[in-house]
């Protein structure tokens, strides 16, 4: 059996793994979108690095776009085999992909107007709403804990990953000749102290574990502490006359915030404080909330108990769900202090960008980030605080509002949770493979796993292949299949820049670099040239 890593390698987006067996079965785990900087997003346009017609099925771990976002493109290009996942994921991903198709439609229209004026070639969206409909017809949902024989040699079981509603850890038993190998794909794993959904399941045994590592070197603030801090910041901001903008993932994080706010406002907790007006301005979040209401049997115990008491756990008197674009715009015209929860969570698109445009310049207002901000996104740029203005929807906006990050809300397991999850394996894997993380989180986690459990840990690069041999050893081959030059070059530039201290994570697009950044890059390159000369690596005749 072989696994080839075509996404989420030293990176948190674009999850896409190809598994091939000795019996000739070929299938994918996830088919996610690359997100973040322009060069990351350009990778979505590239051809898939495998023959689509040879695939037998796809298993989807959960609804988030970085795991599901290229499925309609795969279908548009000919994939017509089953997609296995849970019922809740199937319902959520439908909402997610339709929204993605719509965003692309508007983005491409905007981009093409510019291209037309410049006499450049026009772009096509990755897929449209019809492609999403076609993709949804291929879904075959299964229950958690159900043993399913996908082929005579492959058995699958989905377990609750506790990350978002419907999220799954994928257990696979792959039989080749007379030997069965147990492979576990963790998907994205959740935390234990979140009350809306359940905890991630413990897995008993595996030969090989493919583990996410988004927060492999981070210990999250306590969930309850983050909740307290959230309410404090909200009241501090409202009391001084400002508004609070919360960029939030429409699926998962928004429902969690609403669930906690419902408890806060309906069951006391707010003491002398008056109930502040809260708006959810994201049609996708509103739709996703109804999926949560249909699947209350999958929620955590506390949430189920509230539902049994007849509480609508996602609604309270001071909450308004806005629908139309006009209602959304009206929010920015009324100056009364308020809280606006809006998507997208990394401010890469959606209505939240308009709310940021109208509030970021105001020193009385506040922006609260409640989730991971990938390198290169507007959210990350605002959060990093390295610039005092940003360009949003064509205009420059000063960053004067208070900016907060509350990673305690993260739906991703932190370092202790990841290590505990591994500790729970009664039969430890022979090999652990780290995916879905930036190197600064992955490398320390690798050391930790090796030291704590004495397990072999591998960090694959894009296109690397891992062959699991019958004699219980692994062989990995770096073949960098179809690794796009642009990506490789930008990755190298990134590494060099970080080594030289020119930037902390990713270099910005050359065309988008400010004068300071360009001059920093120039001096980095000059320094490299000098070092090479010093080392006699190059000579001038």
- 64 touches Zn ion by CB under 5 A: yes
Number of neighbours of residue 109 by Cβ within 10 angstroms:
11
Q: CA 304, 306, 310, 311: dihedral to nearest 10 degrees?
A: -120
Tell the smallest beta-carbon distance from residue 357 to Zn ion (Å): 27
**What would the two tokens of residue 255 be?**
């429902």
Site string for Zn ion, 267-296 (x = CB under 5 A): ------------------------------
Residue 212 binds Zn ion (CB under 5 A): no
Give the chain's count of helices (H) and strands (E): 16, 23
Piece in contact with Zn ion (CB under 5 A), picked from 57-65, 80-88, 399-407, 449-457:
57-65
The mark string for 75-94 relative to Zn ion (x by CB under 5 A, - otherwise) is --------------------
Closer residue to Zn ion (CB): 94 or 188:
188
Report, in Å, the least distance between residue 421 CB and Zn ion.
16
Distance CA 11, CA 4 (A): 15
Phi, psi (degrees; rounded to nearest 5) at 213: -145, 30
Question: What DSSP assignment string belongs to 224-257?
Answer: HHHHHHHHHHHHHHHHTT--EEEE--TTTHHHHH
Rank residues 168 and 261 by Cβ distance to Zn ion and give the closer one: 168
The residues pairing with 27 across neighbouring beta strands, listed in sequence order, are: 19, 57
Comparison of 190 and 337: residue with beta carbon closer to Zn ion: 190
Nearer Cβ to Zn ion (355/412): 412
Q: In this complex, which beta carbon is closest to Zn ion, that of residue 65 or of residue 521? A: 65
Distance (Å, rounded) from C-alpha 125 to C-alpha 101?
A: 8
Q: Which residue number, 263 or 412, has a Cβ lying nearer to Zn ion? A: 412
Q: Which is nearer to Zn ion, 163 or 338 (CB)?
A: 163
Comparing CB distances to Zn ion, the nearer of 89 and 448 is 89
Q: Which is nearer to Zn ion, 392 or 435 (CB)?
A: 435
The window from 186-194, 291-299, 336-344, 449-457 that contacts Zn ion (CB under 5 A) reads: 186-194
- Should residue 11 be labelled a site residue for Zn ion when binding is judged by CB under 5 A? no
Q: What is the smallest separation between the CB atom of 267 and Zn ion, expressed in angstroms? A: 29
Stretch that binds Zn ion, among 8-16, 73-81, 182-190, 298-306 (CB under 5 A): 182-190
Tell me which of 11, 188, 256, 464 binds Zn ion, using CB under 5 A. Answer: 188
Min dist. Cβ of residue 97 to Zn ion (A): 15
Residue 188 or 441: which CB sits closer to Zn ion?
A: 188
Binding mask 306-345 for Zn ion (x = CB under 5 A): ----------------------------------------
Cβ-based neighbours of 272, under 8 Å, separated by 6 or more: none
Measured from the CB of residue 347, what is the shortest distance to Zn ion in angstroms?
A: 17
In sequence order, what DSSP letters do the residues of 287-350 get, joined into one string?
HHHHHHHHTGGGB-HHHHHHHHTT--TT--TTEEE--SHHHHHHHHH--S--EEEES-TTSSSS
> What are φ and ψ of residue 366, in 5° steps?
-145, 150
Q: How far is the CB of 206 from Zn ion (least distance, A)?
A: 21
The rounded distance, in Å, linking the Cα atoms of 256 and 223 is 11
**Least CB distance to Zn ion at residue 256 (A):** 13
Q: Is 7 helix (H, G, I), strand (E, B) or coil?
A: coil
- Cβ pair 413, 212 in contact under 8 A: yes
Total residues interacting with Zn ion, rule: CB under 5 A: 2
Task: Report in angstroms how near the CB of residue 464 gets to Zn ion at its nearest.
Answer: 22
Q: What angle do CA 17, 462, 447 make, to 5 degrees?
A: 95
Residue 103: exposure state from Cβ atoms within 10 A (0-12, 13-18, ≥19): middle
Q: Of the listed pieces 60-68, 112-120, 138-146, 432-440, which binds Zn ion according to CB under 5 A?
A: 60-68
- Backbone φ and ψ for 77, nearest 5 degrees, come out as -95, 10
Question: Least Å distance between CB 116 and Zn ion?
Answer: 36
Nearest distance in Å: CB 379, Zn ion: 16
| 320 token code pair | 């308004």
Residue 212 bridge partners (DSSP)? 435
2: CB partners within 8 A, 6+ apart = 19, 20, 465, 466, 467, 468
How far is residue 246's CA from residue 265's CA, in Å, rounded to a whole number? Answer: 18
Range in contact with Zn ion (rule: CB under 5 A) among 63-71, 86-94, 208-216, 277-285 = 63-71
Q: Which two tokens stand for residue 447?
A: 């050391």
Nearest to Zn ion of 64, 355 (CB atom): 64
CB of 149 to Zn ion, least distance (A): 28
Cα–Cα distance between 500 and 55 in angstroms, integer?
A: 43
* Positions 23 through 42 that interact with Zn ion (CB under 5 A): none
Using CB under 5 A as the criterion, which residues of the chain lie in contact with Zn ion when the complex forms? Answer: 64, 188
């Amino acid at each position: 059996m072989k696994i080839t890593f075509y996404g989420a390698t030293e990176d948190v987006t674009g999850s896409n793994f190809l598994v091939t067996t000795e019996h000739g079965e070929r299938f994918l785990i996830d088919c996610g979108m690359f997100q973040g900087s322009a060069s990351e997003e350009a990778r979505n346009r590239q051809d898939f690095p495998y023959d689509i017609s040879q695939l037998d099925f796809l298993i989807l771990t959960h609804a988030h776009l970085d795991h599901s976002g290229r499925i309609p493109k795969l279908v548009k290009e000919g994939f017509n085999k089953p997609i296995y996942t849970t019922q809740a994921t199937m319902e959520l991903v439908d909402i997610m992909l339709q929204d993605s198709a719509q965003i692309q439609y508007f983005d491409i229209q905007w981009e093409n107007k510019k291209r037309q004026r410049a006499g450049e070639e026009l772009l096509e969206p990755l897929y449209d709403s019809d492609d999403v409909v076609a993709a949804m017809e291929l879904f075959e949902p299964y229950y958690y804990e159900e043993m399913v024989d996908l082929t005579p040699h492959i058995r699958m079981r989905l377990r609750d990953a506790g990350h978002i509603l419907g999220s799954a850890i994928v257990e696979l038993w792959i039989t080749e000749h007379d030997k069965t190998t147990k492979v576990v794909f963790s998907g994205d794993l959740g935390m234990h102290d979140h009350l809306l959904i359940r905890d991630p399941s413990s897995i008993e045994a595996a030969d090989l574990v493919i583990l996410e590592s988004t927060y492999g070197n981070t210990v999250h603030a306590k969930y309850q502490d983050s909740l307290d801090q959230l309410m404090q910041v909200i009241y501090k901001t409202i009391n001084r006359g400002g508004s609070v903008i919360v960029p939030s993932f429409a699926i998962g994080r928004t429902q969690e915030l609403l669930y906690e706010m419902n408890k806060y406002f309906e069951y006391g907790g707010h003491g002398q404080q008056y109930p502040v007006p809260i708006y959810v301005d994201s049609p996708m979040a509103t739709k996703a909330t109804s999926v949560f209401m249909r699947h209350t049997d999958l929620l955590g115990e506390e949430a189920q108990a509230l539902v049994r008491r007849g509480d609508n756990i996602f609604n309270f008197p001071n909450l308004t769900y806005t629908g139309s674009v006009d209602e959304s715009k009206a929010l920015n015209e009324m100056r009364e202090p308020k809280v606006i929860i809006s998507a997208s969570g990394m401010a890469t698109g959606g209505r939240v960008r308009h709310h940021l445009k109208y509030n970021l310049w105001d020193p009385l207002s506040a922006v609260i980030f409640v989730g991971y901000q990938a390198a290169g996104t507007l959210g990350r740029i605002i959060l990093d605080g390295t610039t005092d203005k940003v360009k949003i929807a064509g205009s420059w906006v000063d960053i004067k509002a208070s900016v907060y990050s509350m990673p305690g809300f993260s739906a991703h397991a932190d370092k202790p949770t990841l290590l505990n999850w591994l500790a729970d394996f009664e039969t430890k894997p022979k090999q652990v493979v780290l995916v879905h993380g930036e190197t600064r989180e992955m490398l320390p986690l690798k050391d930790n796993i090796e030291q704590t459990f004495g397990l072999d840990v591998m960090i694959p690069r894009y296109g690397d292949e891992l062959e699991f041999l019958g004699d219980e050893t692994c062989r990995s081959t770096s073949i960098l299949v179809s690794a796009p030059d642009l990506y490789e070059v930008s990755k190298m530039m990134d590494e060099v820049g970080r080594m030289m201290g020119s930037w902390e994570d990713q270099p910005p697009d050359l065309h988008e670099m400010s004068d300071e950044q360009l001059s920093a890059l120039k001096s980095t390159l000059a320094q490299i040239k000098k070092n090479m000369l010093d080392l006699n690596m190059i000579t001038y005749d």
